Structure formats: C-alpha cells, structure tokens
Chain A
Amino acid sequence: MNFQELIMSLESFWTGRGCVLQQPYGIEVGAGTMNPATTLRVIGPEPWNVAYVEPSRRPTDGRYGENPNRLQHYYQYQVILKPAPDDIQDQYLDSLRALGIDPADHDIRFVEDDWENPTTGAWGLGWEVWLDGMEITQFTYFQQMGGVDMDLVPGELTYGIERIAMYVQKVDNVYDLEWSGKVKYGDVHHRSEVEGSAYNFEIADVDMLFKLFGMYEAESARILERGMVLPAYDYVLKCSHAFNTLDARNAISVTERTGYIGRVRALASACCKAYLKQREDMGFPLMGKFDGPCRAESPDSSLRGEGHGGDAL
C-alpha cells in the first residue's frame, strides 16, 4: 500500500462511518488539532464528524533531511467524532484493519498519553496507540478547548501516517516511502526538508517574525471585536506559526516563552468563546445533521508537545 493509497483507505473508511471529508487548512498549523475544523467545531452542542489530512509544521523538528524519522513538515490524518461513540476504540481498530493491519498479527495497545496544548488552552485525556511498540496514533477525549468545557466530549484520532506507511511498507527511512508508483516521499519532500530546516534554524528573519507576531496578534484582536470570528482565528494560527519559527531560531528565552504562549492562548480562547456565541446566535445549524446509520465519532490525534524532542512522525 503506497502512501496515497493509505490516505485514500482512511478517507474511504471514515466516509463510510459518516464523516465529512475536509481538505487541509490553508494556513500553517503545528497539528491537525489547530485546524478550525477541530479547534472550533468541537465547541458547543452541535455534533460533528470530520476527517482530513493535515500537513503539520514543527520548525524545531527539522533535521535537514538527514534523519530518517524526523521532519519539520509531515502529515497527520485527523478524525473528530463528536460526541465520541461508545465503540470508538473498536471503530479505530477497524480503521487499522482497513489499512491491512490485523490486530491479531500485532501487539496493539492503548498507552496513557494525556494531551495539553497551552497555546490554545486545551486539554484532554487519552492514549498513544502502539503498534508493536511504535506510536501510530494519538487518541484523545477532549475535555476543554480554548478554556471552554466540552458540551459533547469529542474523540480525536490523529494518525501518524508516515509512520504507519513505513511500517506497512517495511521501510526504515521516511524518504524511501513509496508515495505513488516510482515516486518516493523523498522525491516529493526531501528538498523542502533541507531548505525548511535551514530556513527555520538559520535564515528566518527574527526581527520580521517578531513584527509579524505583533501585527497578527493586533489584527486578530481588532477583527474579533468586529465579530469576524473565523478570520480572527486564522490570525491566531499565523501568530502561532510565527512563534514556532522564532522558537526554532532560538530567539525566545525561557522567561519570554510563557509570555508569548499566554498571548496566543488569550487570543485563541477569545475566538473559542466568540465561536460558541456565534453558533448559538445562528441557532446551532448542525444540530441533527449527523444522526442516522453513521453514528461514528472518533477521537483524533493530539497535538503533542511544543515540538522539540517529541515524536516527529
């Protein structure tokens, strides 16, 4: 199963379970959780089942294309099932079967891994799912997002699809993954890893990024006041990415860090609260739209760690 077939299998599986298939968001995010299709949609009483691929950018994880397991840009497959169905774990195992991974042949485990994202004021409890000792999915029951308690507890599943593909294809280097036919993952992404790492670690203009951070922050706050909730959240994402790049440039000291994270969190929380209000004003239009035979709602991966050491793929 090549890389794109793997993605297609997940798309097809979760389509069958009643998920809306979305496409990656158009703004840099550190994880699929940051996509408003998760961050905002999990808030409030409306049901929501969604699945999408998300390119995830973690500037500090770049290794100049030299490390077989670490990337500053990689893909997550994100599923949100809200509310989480009672059989969510079984549905997840079924999705592995759809990828040709039969649990009877492997050691699959749910190992405690709680999730917290200080930049969005979010946390949840769950597991990392191990496939023969390898973490392949983050599985989280959200408890709070943007400081808001969950009305319906969503389950979030975040598949590390490069890892799963490497396992399935028995490949030890991510760049050797077959993407499609003769085209390898390295053909698609190696050069961008080399340049991305160099840019993030060495070239990025620190002064400019600090300025941008301030500008994005101000714009987000300004337009949120005028009721532009979704555009305001877009600027939160831009802030967050500027912060991550500054972090990779080592431009933010330990003491300053907390301050910057707090500023992003304040904005994100304001957007989340405004979003809830907006949906309420709209009369919660998604109510009742996920009823029916496809009751599946699953958890998705957690946005783990602020990047540095963690598990990149």
Chain B
Amino acid sequence: MILRDLLFEIGTEEIPARFMTWAIAELERIAAEDLAALRLAYEKLTVTGTPRRVVVYAENVAERQEDFEQSVKGPPRTQALDADGKYTKAALGFAKSRGVKEADLRFEEVNGVEYLFAVVKEAGRDAADLLTGFLAGLLKKLVFPKNMYWKDPSVRFARPVRWIVALWDGDLIPVSFGGIASGYASRGHRIMGSPSVNIPMAKDYWGIMEREMVIVDHNRRQKMITSGMEEIEKEIGGTAERDIELIEENAQLVEYPVPFLGSFEKEFLDIPEEVLIATMKKNQRYFPVRDSSGRLMANFIGVSNNKARDMAVVRSGNERVLRARLYDAAFFWKEDLQKPLESLLPKLDKVLYQERLGSVFAKSERVRALAARLLADIGMTDIAEAVDRAALLSKADLVTSMVFEFPEVQGVMGREYAKREGESGAVANAIFEQYLPRFAGDELPKGREGAIIGLCDRIDTIVAIHRVGLSPSGSQDPYGLRRAARCINEILWGLGLDIDLGALFGWSAEALDAGEGVMEKVLEFYRNRLHNQLRERGHAHGTTSLAVASMWRKPLQALRMLDAFDEVADAEWFAPLVLSAVRVNNILGKLTDAEMASAKLAPDMLKEDAEKNLLSALDRQSAIVSRALAGYDWKAVCLALSDLSGAISGFFDDVMVMSDDMGLRNCRLALLARCRGLFDSIGDFSLLK
C-alpha cells in the first residue's frame, strides 16, 4: 500500500485567540471522525494552528480506502422463500435494492428467527477521489462560537479566509470556500516572512513555514514562550507566574513568539498589587514578575509577534502604554481615596441589584441585619461591632472609579480603601474576605468577620433570587446560586462554624417576605446542593442521605457525622447496629398513630429476661447517648447505640412483641419506641440499607 501525506491549511485573517484552543480540538475531533467514516487509514493526525492559519496534517495516509463488507438484514425466511424453496419477489427485490446477486444472499438467525441477509461488498476507492469531499466537509463543520461573513452571507468563518493550501503529497486537492480556491501558495509571517510562498510537497510544509518565521505548532509556541520567560527570569532574578491560560492566549496571538522584558516606575508599586496585576494581565497580556520574597517587581514580560530590528523599540513602546495605564490606575486610586467609603453609600443605593430586589445597598443592609441577628443568636458578640461596620461598607467599593475600571478588584479595593481610612484590620479584611472563596480551590476567609458576612450575603442571595422566581434550572444559574451554596458549606466546614442554617434561612425569609412556597424551594435547593457536595467528597449515597436528612440545618454536623460513619462503618458492631435500628423501625412503621399512642411502658409488667435486659440497656445507654449528643460526638453516639444491639436482638429472638395481652404488647412497643427515640438521634438508619 502506498502512503501519502495530506496537508490542509486554511489561511485567514487573525482569528480571536480565545477560539483557537477550542477550534483545534474541535477540528481534530471532526477530522478523526470523518477519516474513520471514510475508512482511510493513517499513521498520525496533527491539528494545530496560529492566528492566521488552521492546519490539518495527516501522515502516511493510505492511498486507497479499505474494502468494505457489510451484511444487510432483509425479510424473514418465511417471506423470503416460497413453497418450492425459491426466492420470493420480496427477496429478489431486496437483493436488487442492495445491488447484490443471488449468490451474495444468505440466511442468518436473529433472536431465533431466520432472516435473509445481503452481503454488500464495496471495493475501496482511491483516496484522492474522496479528499475534496473530506476537506470541504471540514470547512463546513468547523463552526466557531462567533462567525462573520465578508462577501457571501452564506459563507461564514471566525474571520475572512484568504487562502487555502490542500496537498496530497505533491498533488493539489481541489477545494474552495467563499470564492477562495485551494492552491500551492501559502503565506509567511506577516512581517518577517514572505507575502506568498509555495509549498511543493506536503512534507515540506513545516520546514518552509519555519523558514518563513511561522511556528505553526501551538504547543511549540507555548514552549518558546516559557523558555523565553525562564531566560528573562534568570537575568532579573524574579519569577513570572505560569498562568497557563495567559501563556495559551499569548501563544495564539502570535505566529512567532518573542518574549521580552519591560519595566515600569517603582512608584507605581504603591498601588495595590491586584490592580497592577489586572492592568498587566487583562489589558496588556503581560506576565507580572515577583522577586524571591514574593513581592511584585517593577517588571513585566511581554510577548512580541516580531523579532524587531531593535527590540528596545518594542520594549519602550510597551512600557509607555503600561505607564499610561498605571498612571490612570494611580489617578483612580488617588481620586477614590478622597471619598470615604461611607460617603459612597447614597450612590450605592442607586445601583440596582435586581429589578425587583432594590439596590445593592439595600441588599448589603439586609445582610448587615441578618449578620447581627446571627451573631446575637450564637453569642459571638465579640465580633459584632466589626461585622456591623464591615457589612455597612461591604459593597461600597462597587462605585469607586477603580472598581468601575477593573471589576475584578472589587473587595480588594474595599479592603485597601478601608485600611487607609483608618478602619480596623478586622473590618478592612472582612470587606475583602466576604468574597472568599472566589473559585474552586481558592483560599477561605481567615477572619470570622468576613466569613459571617460572606455567609449572610449568600444566604440572602439564595433566598432573594428564589423569591423573585429566578431559581436555577438546568444549565441556567445566572445569579450563581449553586456556587453560593457551595461557598456557604465550604466556609462552615473550613472554619468549623456550627451554625444553624435553618434559622438563618428563616430570618432571611422574614426580611425578604418570602412565603412558605418559596422557602420550600429554597430548602430543597439547598439540601440538594449539600447532598451533591458531600457526595463529591466521596461519601456514600446512603450515609449522605441520612446525614442530610438529619443534619442539613447544621452542615458542619452533617459532615462530622459522615466522617464518623467513615470511621466506624467497617467496625464489626456497625452492621448489627444498623440491623437493629431497621428491625425496630420495621415493626413500629406498621403501627397506626393510635396504636403508638397507647404504647406505654409499665416496667412491672415485663416478664421475660430479654425484655428486662433491653430496658436496663436503654436506661444505661440513654444517658450516654445524651452526653455524646450534647458534645456532637457522632462516633460516641454510634458506639453507645451499638451497645443496644445485643439486647435488641435478644429481645426479638425471645419475645413476642405483638402479644395478645394488650397490656404486655403496649409495654413492649413502648420499649421499642424508646429504642427508636435513641436511634433517631442519628437519623433513619434504613437509608443505609
């Protein structure tokens, strides 16, 4: 079999960097699928690209399609043969429709019935005859998230397509798109390469492109960026953050990366570093650099798309731009400092949170009241004053110039402005920490003040958004309620805050005038989130259901209960404990309320050893269970309950509960009811079955 290389280069104007990673993966998927469907064997498929070209390269592709044989099912034998055992009209029609001769018909059994099958054979075609269709299909199927037309409204791509190279070794594969026909002519780097360059053979492509100063492989460009960064780091004794997304983005903004070092005036380091970083990364796609002690240096690393005749020109140009931007940031910083956060509150009251929920300030006031109530309730009064102050100012930085310019530094600016206005460290930090954690794996609030405000803010968000009927559904969660619920739990668990969310949700509902129907949805939403989150931590479905049902109000205890289960689940006494609890439940579950009401314990009536035994076990263990419960020591509670297992199993073995003697029956039921009362301190054990 002769093997050839296939080159397909779609030449474009600059495609947005943010699409390229996606487009490469998408095109690779489509190309692999289509090649498989075409039965074209190949050794290696490479899909890559630069801002100006998307490239598909298949190495050692078979010159011919693989042969094809397939059995196609037809009518059952009873309809395929007539009384003489000859093919019926139906059978012959079937053969004709499949283009096969009688010799290629056979019977096969399917689920006990014999059917006529046609064996369809197709000889592999020349790959060259299939490639035009294959490449045209790629162009059609690669639909970017955002497309445009430039001539023909029916021809769309991320940016205009300007040339196409399609080669089968050295043969041209004819394909066209939007009036552009494929040819041998590619283009080099816009500045460092030739405006037009011929690719005589597919395999020459990579070498020619490299001479044309185009590094087609995006992975290689990324490596060039990181190795360039390393050299610069050595030179200045600093470290640039390896922000992988920023590296990817930079790699997709250039055809030939030239990392370079720049610097700015040290005075700008007085501005909070988050602002400097946002300016460098977001506006300019620069990499900020830190010194060995982690402090931001007055340097940055940029990536040029041109090895300019004098890189100092590029460097100083970039420095000018950054200087202008930092000058702006310094201006906002100075301007904001003249307006204390508290003076911004009237302005904040004009910023709408949600149409039916009033202003952002109104929300922060609800949060303030909720936090005050919570702290009074749990007796955490030592931080009440700081929380009150921080909650009042919590969202004020939203209307500062700096946050208007850089929304991502909300919270950071609140903290920095608060510090400089003489607010206490606790207040200032709380204004920042209320947003923690900001993303999966982010740090948690260090202070309780920020944690409490963040908690109350998210509770308010969940209730408020449900209140106006915007509960999340499917992939729709515009107010980020799922994330809010997740953060609530992470904070409670991470800081070990044993807070009753049932009460907190209830108070929030009062403040928002949310009715019972709304609250049912809120709590169902919350419990589902809690369940999911606990499952993600690796807890089993059954134990999680039990813990959520019993302890959702106190998520910290739900988690501790599960941790205790994990510890004891394999202990030899645990299974008997579950069994006992379930047996007790099974019997009591069948009784009516009236029967239960008449179940009374009269110790004198007990006759059997087993029942006396159970009573004394109950008397003994009740106190132990209570003590363990008071300390939320779930392992001790389980252990204490497990001490009943023996007595219960003896009871079931030796005693007939449903005795005809109603007095005795009630007495025995009462014993079991006491057992259940104790088991219920954990929850419904039957969920573990």
- Whether A133 contacts B284 in the complex (CB less than 8 A), given A104-B191, A107-B308, A172-B320, comes out as yes
- A107 engages B306 (CB within 8 Å): yes
Within 8 A of B (CB), among A44-96: 63, 67-70, 83-84, 86, 89-90, 93
Cα-based distance from A12 to B349 in the complex (angstroms): 53
Chain A hits for B313, CB < 8 A: 105-106, 132
Contact of B321 among A83, A133, A308 (CB under 8 A): A133
Q: Which residue of A lies closest to B406 (CB)?
A: A309
- A253 engages B159 (CB within 8 Å): no
Cα-based distance from A103 to B352 in the complex (angstroms): 47
- A255 engages B355 (CB within 8 Å): yes
- A83 engages B18 (CB within 8 Å): no
Interface: A286 (CB within 8 A) = no
Q: Which residue of B lies closest to A70 (CB)?
A: B328
Interface: A266 (CB within 8 A) = no
Cα-based distance from A133 to B325 in the complex (angstroms): 11
Interface: B327 (CB within 8 A) = yes
Cα-based distance from A290 to B195 in the complex (angstroms): 27
Q: Which residue of B lies closest to A149 (CB)?
A: B153
Chain B hits for A204, CB < 8 A: none
- Whether A127 contacts B14 in the complex (CB less than 8 A), given A107-B305, A107-B308, A143-B148, comes out as yes
- A105 engages B253 (CB within 8 Å): no
- Distance of A70 from chain B, by nearest CB (Å): 8
Interface: B411 (CB within 8 A) = no
Interface: A187 (CB within 8 A) = no
- B13 engages A172 (CB within 8 Å): no
Q: Which residue of B lies closest to A153 (CB)?
A: B150
Cα-based distance from A134 to B405 in the complex (angstroms): 18
Contact of A253 among B51, B310, B327, B350 (CB under 8 A): B350
Stretch at the interface among A110-118, A225-233, A235-243, A272-280: A110-118
- B13 engages A104 (CB within 8 Å): no
Q: Which residue of A lies closest to B179 (CB)?
A: A86
Interface: A189 (CB within 8 A) = no
Chain A hits for B13, CB < 8 A: 89, 110
Interface: B185 (CB within 8 A) = no
Interface: A185 (CB within 8 A) = no
Within 8 A of B (CB), among A180-210: none
Chain A hits for B322, CB < 8 A: 133
| CB 8 Å contact bits of A130-145 with B (1 = contact, 0 = none) | 0111100000010100
Cα-based distance from A103 to B193 in the complex (angstroms): 12
Chain A hits for B310, CB < 8 A: 105
- Distance of B253 from chain A, by nearest CB (Å): 6
- Distance of A301 from chain B, by nearest CB (Å): 17
Chain B residues touching A, range: 35 or more
Cα-based distance from A112 to B15 in the complex (angstroms): 7
Chain B hits for A110, CB < 8 A: 13-14, 51
Q: Which residue of A lies closest to B351 (CB)?
A: A254
Interface: B314 (CB within 8 A) = yes
- Distance of B310 from chain A, by nearest CB (Å): 7
Interface: A21 (CB within 8 A) = no
Interface: B299 (CB within 8 A) = no
Contact of B318 among A63, A104, A132, A172 (CB under 8 A): A132
Interface: B587 (CB within 8 A) = no
Interface: B188 (CB within 8 A) = no
- Whether A172 contacts B324 in the complex (CB less than 8 A), given A103-B191, A106-B314, A308-B404, comes out as yes
Chain A hits for B318, CB < 8 A: 107, 132-134
Chain A hits for B321, CB < 8 A: 132-134
- A125 engages B146 (CB within 8 Å): yes
Interface: A108 (CB within 8 A) = yes
Cα-based distance from A161 to B16 in the complex (angstroms): 25
Interface: A167 (CB within 8 A) = yes
- Distance of B463 from chain A, by nearest CB (Å): 23
Q: Which residue of B lies closest to A69 (CB)?
A: B324
Chain B hits for A83, CB < 8 A: 151
- A132 engages B314 (CB within 8 Å): yes
- B320 engages A104 (CB within 8 Å): no
- A104 engages B159 (CB within 8 Å): no
Cα-based distance from A106 to B253 in the complex (angstroms): 15
- B352 engages A69 (CB within 8 Å): no
- Whether A104 contacts B327 in the complex (CB less than 8 A), given A167-B317, A253-B350, comes out as no
- B324 engages A104 (CB within 8 Å): no
- B150 engages A107 (CB within 8 Å): no
| CB 8 Å contact bits of B528-547 with A (1 = contact, 0 = none) | 00000000000000000000
- Distance of B254 from chain A, by nearest CB (Å): 8
- B17 engages A112 (CB within 8 Å): yes
- Distance of A137 from chain B, by nearest CB (Å): 13
Interface: B304 (CB within 8 A) = yes
Q: Which residue of A lies closest to B262 (CB)?
A: A133
Q: Which residue of B lies closest to A66 (CB)?
A: B331
- Distance of A96 from chain B, by nearest CB (Å): 11
- A111 engages B148 (CB within 8 Å): no
- A143 engages B149 (CB within 8 Å): yes
- B317 engages A131 (CB within 8 Å): yes
Interface: B309 (CB within 8 A) = yes
Within 8 A of A (CB), among B1-35: 13-14, 16-18
- A106 engages B306 (CB within 8 Å): yes
Interface: B486 (CB within 8 A) = no
Interface: A263 (CB within 8 A) = no
Chain B hits for A104, CB < 8 A: 191-192, 306, 308-309
- B305 engages A109 (CB within 8 Å): yes
| CB 8 Å contact bits of B78-90 with A (1 = contact, 0 = none) | 0000000000000
- Distance of A298 from chain B, by nearest CB (Å): 13
- B314 engages A109 (CB within 8 Å): no
Chain B hits for A309, CB < 8 A: 404-405
Chain A hits for B405, CB < 8 A: 309
Cα-based distance from A93 to B191 in the complex (angstroms): 10
- B162 engages A86 (CB within 8 Å): yes
- B191 engages A108 (CB within 8 Å): yes
Cα-based distance from A104 to B191 in the complex (angstroms): 6
- Distance of A47 from chain B, by nearest CB (Å): 13
Cα-based distance from A178 to B302 in the complex (angstroms): 30
- Distance of B380 from chain A, by nearest CB (Å): 36
Interface: B183 (CB within 8 A) = no
Chain A hits for B355, CB < 8 A: 255
- A133 engages B317 (CB within 8 Å): yes
Chain B hits for A106, CB < 8 A: 306, 308, 313-314, 317
Interface: B323 (CB within 8 A) = yes
Contact of A134 among B16, B306, B320 (CB under 8 A): B320
15 A–B contact pairs at CB < 8 A? A69-B324, A104-B309, A105-B308, A107-B305, A107-B317, A107-B318, A109-B14, A110-B14, A112-B16, A112-B17, A112-B18, A133-B284, A133-B318, A141-B148, A254-B350
Q: Which 7 A-B pairs have the closest CB atoms?
A: A132-B317, A112-B16, A110-B14, A133-B318, A107-B304, A134-B321, A125-B148
B residues touching A (Cβ–Cβ < 8 Å)? 13-14, 16-18, 51, 146, 148-151, 153, 159-160, 162, 190-192, 195, 253-254, 258, 284, 302, 304-306, 308-310, 313-314, 316-318, 320-324, 327-328, 331, 350-352, 355, 404-405
20 more contacts with CB within 8 A, not counting A69-B327, A110-B51, A133-B321, are: A67-B331, A86-B160, A104-B308, A104-B309, A105-B308, A105-B309, A107-B314, A110-B14, A112-B17, A114-B146, A125-B146, A125-B148, A127-B14, A131-B317, A132-B314, A132-B318, A133-B284, A133-B302, A172-B323, A309-B405
